[in-house]
Structure 1
Amino acid sequence: MEEIILQLIMHSGDARSCAMEAIQSAKSGDYEKAKCLLEESADKLILAHNAQTTLIQAEANGNKAEFSLLLIHAQDHLMSTITVKDLAEEFVEIYKRIR
């Protein structure tokens, strides 16, 4: 169970990093790189969601996960990463329009 939780944290962190890099790329005018980074962020979020789905399915099958600080952190990390990615998409568009 901990391995799956750590995958959720890792993939969420990678997705967040890509989204933040996309903003920096757009800020410097490299919109193609920003687009690629947003796509990479989306791909990493899929992996994070897959880990989350594994946890949900396990619980639905009666293998209830014990609530831990690590599990709460993983869920929090995923949710904040989704927000960062959504905002990064908006920032990239704004930078495009400004230039």
Structure 2
Amino acid sequence: MNDDVMKVIMGLIMEGGNAKSFAIKAINAAKENDFVEADKQIKKSEKALGNAHNIQTNMLTKEAQGEHTEVNLYMVHAQDWLMTGITFKDLAKEIVELYENLNQKNK
């Protein structure tokens, strides 16, 4: 495996992990009724996923141009981190909204 492929893999893992971490921070902020901070963390999660999307798009573009990428356990692991980040971000948005609605009803 060459260095370029490893950079793609590590980029996906890092950005997917960042997205998940920011999503968890958003939920924790919402638990404390800090919805401004929760929104900030969701936006950070979305930015990390945007970065990962750009990495993935570059990889897919190269594949479409005939530059094949070896699929190995590292690549599968990287894609798993990306999907986990996406899932956490989506769920965090729902959970933050739920906390906001509960907070409004309790006022």
TM range (shorter): over 0.9
1:50 maps to what in 2?
54
Report how many residues are paired: 99
Give the counterpart letter for 2:76 in structure 1. Answer: I
Match of 1:73 among 77, 89, 94: 77
Structure 1 residue ranges without an equivalent (≥5): none
Alignment TM-score, normalising by the size of structure 2 = 0.89
Compute the RMSD of aligned alpha carbons: 0.7
The within-5 A match list for 1:1-80 is 1-80=5-84
Q: Write the distance in 2 (CA, Å) between the matches of 1:45 and 1:9.
A: 11
Q: Write the distance in 2 (CA, Å) between the matches of 1:4 and 1:59.
A: 13
Q: Write the distance in 2 (CA, Å) between the matches of 1:76 and 1:96.
A: 30
Give the counterpart letter for 1:45 in structure 2. Answer: L
1:5 and 1:51 in contact (8 A); partners too: no
Question: How far 1:97 moved relative to its partner?
Answer: 1.1
Alignment TM-score, normalising by the size of structure 1 = 0.96
Structure 2 residue ranges without an equivalent (≥5): none
Q: Write the distance in 1 (CA, Å) between the matches of 2:101 and 2:87.
A: 21
- Rg (Cα) greater in structure: 2
User: After the TM superposition, which segments of 4 or more aligned residues of structure 1 sit over 4 Å from their partners?
Assistant: none
Q: Write the distance in 2 (CA, Å) between the matches of 1:68 and 1:31.
A: 41
